[in-house]
Amino acid sequence: MKKINYLEIEGRSNGFLALLGVLGAITLAGIGAFFYMEHSGHHVTGMDNQIVWGMPHVFAVFLIVAASGALNVASIGTVFGKAIYKPLGRISTLMAIALLAGGLMVLVLDLGRPDRLVIAMTYYNFKSIFAWNIILYNGFFAVTIVYIWMMMEKKMVGYYRPAGIVAFIWRLILTTGTGSIFGFIVARSAYDAAIMAPMFIIMSFSFGLAIFLLVLMLGYQWTERPLGDAIIKRLKNLLGVFAAAVLYFVLAYHLTNLYGTEHHDVEKFILAGDSIHTTLFWVMQVIVGGLVPIGIIYSKLSNSRSWLGLATVLIILGGLAQMYVIIIGGQAYPLEIFPGMEVVNSAFGDANSYHTYTPSTPEIVLGVSGIAVAMLIITLGVKVLKFMPESLADKDIDPHNKG
């Protein structure tokens, strides 16, 4: 493999400035949506006292999970010694930091009282999985920044692999913690499952790699830099495996629940109900976000980068749908306060009745702004620092290429 030359992008074209303008406008719209909800109160959202995690949480958790998966590309090169992935290490770590920052921004602004985050950061209840995640998120930033430093500073090259191993382990723990938030909530029938943690890990691999591959192809196309087929083929095949693994874990999760009689009702609600959750599960999550992109990846269509880009977009949309079903669907199914007992209906929402949720425009805008913040960080990052290899042509990165 030839020596890789990293170079900032010029960022002077009208297209680049337009991209910054669009991302900046969406970010400002998200901040405006936050102030509107903060000023007007909780009633202007679609949330209530039953569904307390709404659309912003769907985007926030998706971005946090994807951040861990985006770092997977760097880990493959560093930890597992795959030379062809090493040139992608810098951009991989940048994407990981950007996606986590975007997700946490949405999460903090959706708290209702973001100023109370100071309390969460200074007073820890170590019996709470939420407290543990505060540590994991902050630690991820610190570990990944150190990892980037070891990559980019020639004097620290000796610490490059140890830093990569620490980052690899930390991101697995982080995603385990995020999945455990749902797995440890025993009061919710749709959440209480040990498989949530490993399922979130494989979801992170799939969603993060889909975003990474899409941004990589667009970035090199827009900057007119060479991007060879060798690395695209490796990433494409890896994405297909991860997408299939997500479907496997979803299958295992639901089959396990169907085996236990106490979960039959919640499974019927998700898999065969008349709500939006059933439609999102089968149409968006399983078909559009799973089977279709897997079919594209493992067919001749994937030889076209346009089709491959479509596959990554479908996986991202399917991932958002999956988060919606998990987070909103899990809350929409009623709490079983007295298992096995019949509860009389009341007007106070304390009975065994399904809950509805319609996301408001400000919630959606705030959630989308998290994606814009992540993309803005990536765009400015490659503009001011040497994150992108000047060339990813096969002859430059593929050790088996004779050209």
Q: Which amino acid is at 67?
A: A
Q: How many CA atoms within 13 Å lie on the side-chain side of 227?
A: 20
Domain regions of the chain by residue span? 14-231+356-392
CB burial of 358-378 (b: ≥16 within 10 Å; e: otherwise) equals ebbebbbbbbbbbbbbbbbbb
* Contact in structure between 72 and 85 (CB atoms under 8 Å): no
Report the percent of the chain where pLDDT is more than 70: 92
For 326, which DSSP code?
A: I
What pLDDT score does 135 carry? 87
Rounded CA-CA distance 324/281 in Å is 9
Three-class DSSP category at 6: strand
* Contact in structure between 270 and 325 (CB atoms under 8 Å): yes
Map tokens 């991860």 to a residue: 242
What pLDDT score does 390 carry? 92
DSSP one-letter string for 217-238: HHHHHHTT--B-HHHHHHHHHH
Rounded CA-CA distance 385/152 in Å is 10
What pLDDT score does 402 carry? 53
Most confident of 30-44, 59-73, 125-139, 353-367: 59-73
Rounded CA-CA distance 145/381 in Å is 13
| pTM score, whole prediction | 0.93
Rounded CA-CA distance 142/34 in Å is 27
Tell me what the pLDDT averaged over the chain comes to.
Answer: 89
Give the tens place of pLDDT for each residue, 170-213.
999 999 999 988 888 877 888 888 899 999 999 999 999 999 99
DSSP one-letter string for 118-137: HHHHHS--TT-HHHHHHHHH
Contacts of 91 (CB under 8 A, 6+ apart): 216, 219, 382, 387, 388
Contacts of 120 (CB under 8 A, 6+ apart): 130, 131, 134
Partnered with residue 227 across adjacent β-strands are 392
Map tokens 């719209």 to a residue: 29
When pLDDT is averaged across residues 52-63 and rounded to a whole number, the result is 94
For 348, which DSSP code?
A: T
- Closest-CA residue to 333 (of 203, 185, 201, 204): 185
Phi (first) and psi of residue 389, to 5 degrees: -60, 140
Most confident of 104-118, 137-151, 304-318: 304-318
pLDDT exceeds 60 at position 345: no
Rounded CA-CA distance 310/77 in Å is 26
| Topology of the domain covering 14-231+356-392 | Formate dehydrogenase/DMSO reductase fold (1.20.1630)
Give the tens place of pLDDT for each residue, 352-396.
567 889 999 999 999 999 999 999 999 999 999 999 999 999 888
pLDDT exceeds 90 at position 101: yes
* Contact in structure between 47 and 54 (CB atoms under 8 Å): yes
For the chain, the straight-line distance linking the first and the last C-alpha, in angstroms and rounded, comes to 11
- Closest-CA residue to 289 (of 329, 231, 255, 246): 246
Report the percent of the chain where pLDDT is more than 90: 66
Q: Which amino acid is at 346?
A: S
When pLDDT is averaged across residues 60-68 and rounded to a whole number, the result is 96
Three-class DSSP category at 339: coil
Give the tens place of pLDDT for each residue, 13-40.
999 999 999 999 999 999 999 999 988 8
Which stretch of 69-83, 123-137, 277-291, 337-351 has the lowest confidence by average pLDDT?
Answer: 337-351
Q: Tokens for 117?
A: 């985050």
pLDDT exceeds 60 at position 1: no
CB burial of 167-190 (b: ≥16 within 10 Å; e: otherwise) equals bbebbbbbbbbbbbbbbbbeebbb
* Contact in structure between 11 and 383 (CB atoms under 8 Å): yes
Rounded CA-CA distance 170/163 in Å is 10
What pLDDT score does 352 carry? 56
